[in-house]
Amino acid sequence: MRKPATRHWPFRKLATLVPVALIAMLSVNVALADFGQPNGITNEANKMHDLYLLVTVMGLIVFALVEGALVFALFRFRKKSDELPSQMHGNNLVEVLWTAIPIVIVVTLFAFAFRTLVDIEHDSREEDLTVCVQGFQYQWQFEYRLNDMGTGTDPKAAAAAKQIKGNPCEVAGNPADITVIGKAGPENEPTLVIPIGERVEFRLKSTDVIHSFYIRDFLYKLDVIPGRDNKFTVTGNEEGTFFGQCAELCGLNHSLMRFKVEVMSRENFNKWVAEQTAGTKATRQP
């Protein structure tokens, strides 16, 4: 028994165009914006971005299939008569299938995620220099130690610096040669300077509350936790100025804990070091 023709939706043909248009718009966006995420400026970030792309492609496929099936069902199976539909209570085969297939998908995703994680976190090569980062309410401080960054003039001291076990930022008698301290106010954001193509280690420290050291184009953040020695290493592969910001709510002026990151050539980095250390080991105003 068909419903009267007035119930027939006049825009049905048009409606099939909607998903097509959506997909077209989406693919344009995707092509333009690299699926929305910047590609990253470190070797590690590039790997994480690849994983991001994989998750996104998988997600879009699942989205298209499930949402497509839903929209199809709503059009195809909308009420046409008062006849009772067949009362299907279940089907073991399809239920096993649609449990097994998602398991395969998520285990695959996990395997890729695990590989990327091992890749970026368990590189046994020694770092080229260490930057000691301290977060405080509400700014950042970056410390450099000369003999630990390939710019030292005394090979003995450099060798000794390499021998330091544990956290070089905390060892007594190993004072910082360059200290960059941020101050409140947008124009006083500190700048973190690192050389391109070298393995830079960040040791994170806080003595007040938890902060999070986040640089967007590293595609990475690590929490700065009082009482905990957190560290990570990256190798920059693109010169330029980027931005960073505290990513863990840390109190009143959390939103102002911004900083800049400059990735530069070793040559320019050496110049910067020379400027900073010229004369006294003065604290650099940003």
Partner 1 sequence: MASIAVPKSTGYERPAILDWLTTVDHKKLGILYFYFTMFFFAVGGVLALLVRTQLAVADNAFVNNNVYNQIFTMHASAMLFLFIIPVWAAFGNYIVPLQIGAPDMAFPRINALSFWLLPPAGIIMFSGFFVDGGAAQAGWTAYSPLARTLGTGMDLWIIAVLLLGISSTIGAANFLVTMFRMRAPGMTMFRMPIFCWTVLATSILQLLATPVLAAALVMLYIDRNYGGSFFDPNGGGNAVLWQNVFWFYSHPAVYIMILPGMGIISEILPVFSRKPLFGYKAFVFATMGIAGLGFSVWAHHMFTTGAVLKPFFAFMTFMIGVPTGVKIFNWLATLWKGQITFETPMLFALGFISMFLIGGINGTYSAAVPVDFALHDTYFVVAHIHYVLFGGSVFAVFGGLYYWFPKIWGRKLNERLGQVHFALMFIGFNLTFFPMHLLGLDGMPRRIATYSADHNWDFLNSLSTAGAFIIAVSMIPFLINVTMAFLRPKDQPNDPWEANTLEWWTTSPPPVHNFDDIPPIYSERPLWELKHGKGADASHH
* Of residues 36-55, those binding partner 1 (CB under 8 A): 36-38, 47-48, 51-52, 55
Relative to beta strand 191-195, strand 258-264 is: parallel
Candidates 145, 203, 205, 216: give the one binding partner 1 (CB under 8 A): 216
What is the rounded CA–CA span in Å between residue 230 and residue 205? 7
- Sites for partner 1 among residues 186-205 (CB under 8 A): 186
We find the least distance from the C-beta atom of residue 73 to partner 1, in angstroms, to be 4
We find the least distance from the C-beta atom of residue 174 to partner 1, in angstroms, to be 23
Q: Is 26 among the residues that bind partner 1 (CB under 8 A)?
A: no
Residues in contact with partner 1, total (CB under 8 A)? 82
SS3 31: helix
Q: Is 255 among the residues that bind partner 1 (CB under 8 A)?
A: yes
Candidates 98, 171, 175, 184: give the one binding partner 1 (CB under 8 A): 98
We find the least distance from the C-beta atom of residue 176 to partner 1, in angstroms, to be 23
Residue given tokens 């909607």 in the structure block: 18
What is the rounded CA–CA span in Å between residue 248 and residue 221? 10
- Sites for partner 1 among residues 129-188 (CB under 8 A): 186
Q: Is 240 among the residues that bind partner 1 (CB under 8 A)?
A: no
Q: Is 6 among the residues that bind partner 1 (CB under 8 A)?
A: no
We find the least distance from the C-beta atom of residue 124 to partner 1, in angstroms, to be 18
Rounded to the nearest angstrom, the gap between the alpha carbon of residue 46 and the centroid of all alpha carbons in its chain is 10
Q: Is 228 among the residues that bind partner 1 (CB under 8 A)?
A: yes
Q: Is 226 among the residues that bind partner 1 (CB under 8 A)?
A: yes
Q: Is 62 among the residues that bind partner 1 (CB under 8 A)?
A: yes
Q: Is 66 among the residues that bind partner 1 (CB under 8 A)?
A: yes
Give buried/exposed letters for 220-257 (b at 16+ CB in 10 A, else e): bbbbbbeeeebbbbbbbeeeeebebbbbbebeeebebb
Find the farthest-apart pair of alpha carbons in the chain and give their distance in angstroms, rounded.
95
What is the rounded CA–CA span in Å between residue 224 and residue 53? 28
**Beta pairing partners, 262:** 193, 241
Near partner 1 by CB under 8 A, which window of 6-14, 70-78, 172-180, 264-272?
70-78
We find the least distance from the C-beta atom of residue 248 to partner 1, in angstroms, to be 6
Considering the complex, state which of residue 146 and residue 263 has its C-beta at the smaller distance from partner 1. Answer: 263
Contact 224, 205 (CB under 8 A): yes
Name the token pair of 91: 């089907």
Near partner 1 by CB under 8 A, which window of 90-98, 144-152, 156-164, 264-272?
90-98
**Side chain identity at residue 57, one-letter code:** V
Q: Which of 156, 82, 159 is nearest to 126 (CA)?
A: 159
